[in-house]
Amino acid sequence: MKRRDFLKVSTVGAVGTSMLAVPRGTWAQGPIKIGMPAALSGSNAQYGIQAKRAAELFARDVKAKGILGRPVEFIYEDTAGDPATAVRKAQKLVEKDGVKFLTGVALSSEALAVSAKCPEWKVVFMSTINGAGSLTTKSFHRYFFRVNTSGPMGARAVSLYLAEAPMKRFFALGSDYAWGRDSVASFTSQITAAKKEVVGTDFSPVGTKDFASYIAKIRQSKAEGVYLVLAGQDATIYLRQAHQFGLSREVKPIMEILELENMKAVGDAMVGAIGSSRYPFTIDTPKNRDFVKRFHDLHGMYPDMFDGETYEGLEWLAQVIAKAGTDDVEKVIDAWEDSTYEGLEGSFLMRKCDHQAVQPGFAVECVKDAKYPHPVPKVLATYPGDKVTPKCRTEDFA
Amino acid sequence: MANVLEQLLNALAAAGLLFLVSAGLSLVFGILRVVNFAHGVFYMLGAYVGFTTVALTGWFWPALIVVPPVVGALGALLETSTLRFIYRRPPIYQLLLTFGIALILEESIRVLYGPTAKGVELPALLRDAIDLGGVLYPSYRLFVVVLGGTVGVGVWLFLRRTRAGLVIRAVAQNSEMADCLGADVARVRTLVFGAACALAGLGGVAAAPMTTAYLGMGISVIVDAFVVVVIGGLGSIGGSMAGSLIVGAAQTWGAFYLPEAAMVIMYAVMGAILVFRPWGLFGEEE
Q: According to the model, what pLDDT value does residue A225 have?
A: 96
Determine, for residues B121 and A213 on separate chains, whether the beta-carbon distance falls below 8 Å.
no
Q: What is the CATH number of the domain that holds A212?
A: 3.40.50.2300
- A17-26, A209-218, B98-107, B230-239: range with lowest mean pLDDT: A17-26
Please tell me whether residues A116 and A207 are part of one structural domain: no
* CA–CA separation, A1 and A96 (whole Å): 23
- A38-47, A145-154, A299-308, B184-193: range with lowest mean pLDDT: A38-47
Q: According to the model, what pLDDT value does residue A11 have?
A: 46
Please tell me whether residues A292 and A271 are part of one structural domain: no
Q: According to the model, what pLDDT value does residue A398 have?
A: 67
User: Is residue A126 domain-resident?
Assistant: yes
Per the CB < 8 A criterion, the answer to whether B182 and B14 are in contact is: no
For A275-327, how does the pLDDT look when each residue is reduced to its tens digit (9 = 90+)?
Answer: 999 999 999 999 999 999 999 999 999 999 999 999 999 999 999 999 999 99
Q: According to the model, what pLDDT value does residue B219 have?
A: 86
Which residues between 20 and 79 in chain B have a beta carbon less than 8 angstroms from any beta carbon of chain A?
none
Residue A265 has its nearest CB partner, among B119, B128, B255, at: B119
What is the mean pLDDT of the segment spanning B22-48? Answer: 94
Please tell me whether residues A37 and A104 are part of one structural domain: yes
Q: According to the model, what pLDDT value does residue A24 have?
A: 44
Per the CB < 8 A criterion, the answer to whether B34 and B98 are in contact is: yes
Mutation site, B48, B256, B260, B264, interface A, largest A CB count within 10 A: B256
Of residues B160, B169, B158, B170, the one with CA closest to residue B198: B158
Residue A210 has its nearest CB partner, among B14, B118, B217, at: B14
Q: pTM for this one?
A: 0.84
Bridge partners, residue A60, by sequence: none
Please tell me whether residues A171 and A249 are part of one structural domain: yes
User: Is residue B42 domain-resident?
Assistant: yes
Please tell me whether residues A337 and A374 are part of one structural domain: no
Please tell me whether residues A47 and A163 are part of one structural domain: no
Question: CA distances (Å), A8 to each of A4, A54, A365, B26, in order?
Answer: 6, 21, 38, 33
Question: CA distances (Å), B256 to each of A228, A246, B6, B101, B175, in order?
Answer: 18, 19, 11, 36, 45
* CA–CA separation, B44 and B70 (whole Å): 13
Please tell me whether residues A253 and A338 are part of one structural domain: no
Closest chain A residue to B213, measured at CA: A265
For A230-256, how does the pLDDT look when each residue is reduced to its tens digit (9 = 90+)?
Answer: 988 889 999 999 999 999 889 999 999
Q: According to the model, what pLDDT value does residue B164 have?
A: 93
The tally of domains found in chain B comes to 1
* CA–CA separation, A148 and A108 (whole Å): 12
User: Is residue B261 domain-resident?
Assistant: yes
User: Is residue B201 domain-resident?
Assistant: yes
Q: Reduce the DSSP state of residue B87 to 3 states and report it.
A: coil
Name the minimum distance, in Å, from the CA of B114 to any CA of chain A. 9
* Amino acid sitting at position B60: F
What is the mean pLDDT of the segment spanning B61-67? Answer: 95
Q: According to the model, what pLDDT value does residue A10 have?
A: 43
Of residues B265, B231, B239, the one with CA closest to residue B251: B265
* A20: enclosing H helix or E strand: helix A2-20
User: Is residue B265 domain-resident?
Assistant: yes
Confidence of residue B286 (pLDDT cuts 50, 70, 90): low
Per the CB < 8 A criterion, the answer to whether B1 and A214 are in contact is: no
Determine, for residues A265 and B103 on separate chains, whether the beta-carbon distance falls below 8 Å.
no
Closest chain B residue to A218, measured at CA: B256
Confidence of residue B202 (pLDDT cuts 50, 70, 90): very high
Taking all residues of chain A, what is their mean pLDDT, rounded to a whole number?
90
User: Is residue A395 domain-resident?
Assistant: no
Taking all residues of chain B, what is their mean pLDDT, rounded to a whole number?
92
User: Is residue B284 domain-resident?
Assistant: no
Domain that holds residue B48: 2-276
Confidence check: pLDDT of A189 > 90:
no
Confidence of residue A53 (pLDDT cuts 50, 70, 90): very high
Q: According to the model, what pLDDT value does residue A270 have?
A: 93
In sequence order, the 6+-apart residues with CB closer than 8 A to the CB of A52 are A36, A38, A40, A76, A104
Q: What is the CATH number of the domain that holds B186?
A: 1.10.3470
Q: According to the model, what pLDDT value does residue A92 have?
A: 97
Confidence of residue A6 (pLDDT cuts 50, 70, 90): very low
User: Is residue A393 domain-resident?
Assistant: no
Q: According to the model, what pLDDT value does residue A27 have?
A: 56
User: Is residue B80 domain-resident?
Assistant: yes
User: Which residues of chain A have a Cβ shorter than 8 Å from any chain B Cβ?
Assistant: 4, 41, 43, 45-46, 49, 202-205, 207-210, 212-214, 216-217, 220, 233, 236-237, 240-241, 244-246, 261, 264-267
Dihedral angle sign, alpha carbons of residues B94, B96, B102, B104: negative
Q: What are phi and psi of B131, to 5 degrees?
A: -90, 115
* DSSP string computed for A65-119: T-BTTB-EEEEEEE-TT-HHHHHHHHHHHHHTS--SEEE----HHHHHHHHTTHH
Determine, for residues A261 and B6 on separate chains, whether the beta-carbon distance falls below 8 Å.
no
For A331-379, how does the pLDDT look when each residue is reduced to its tens digit (9 = 90+)?
Answer: 999 999 999 999 999 999 999 999 999 999 999 999 999 999 999 999 9
The tally of domains found in chain A comes to 2
User: Is residue A397 domain-resident?
Assistant: no
Confidence check: pLDDT of B8 > 60:
yes
Q: According to the model, what pLDDT value does residue B135 have?
A: 83
* B237: enclosing H helix or E strand: helix B237-257
| A207 or A316, which is more confident | A316
Closest chain B residue to A41, measured at CA: B115
Strand order in the sheet with A197-204: A197-204, A169-175, A225-229, A252-255, A274-277, A361-367, A376-383
Domain that holds residue A212: 152-277+361-388
Confidence check: pLDDT of A128 > 80:
yes
Q: What are phi and psi of A333, to 5 degrees?
A: -60, -45
User: Is residue B285 domain-resident?
Assistant: no
Q: According to the model, what pLDDT value does residue B97 have?
A: 95
* Amino acid sitting at position A74: F
Burial class of residue B101, CB neighbours in 10 A (0-12, 13-18, 19+): buried
Confidence check: pLDDT of B128 > 90:
no
Q: According to the model, what pLDDT value does residue A28 have?
A: 58
* CA–CA separation, B103 and A258 (whole Å): 31
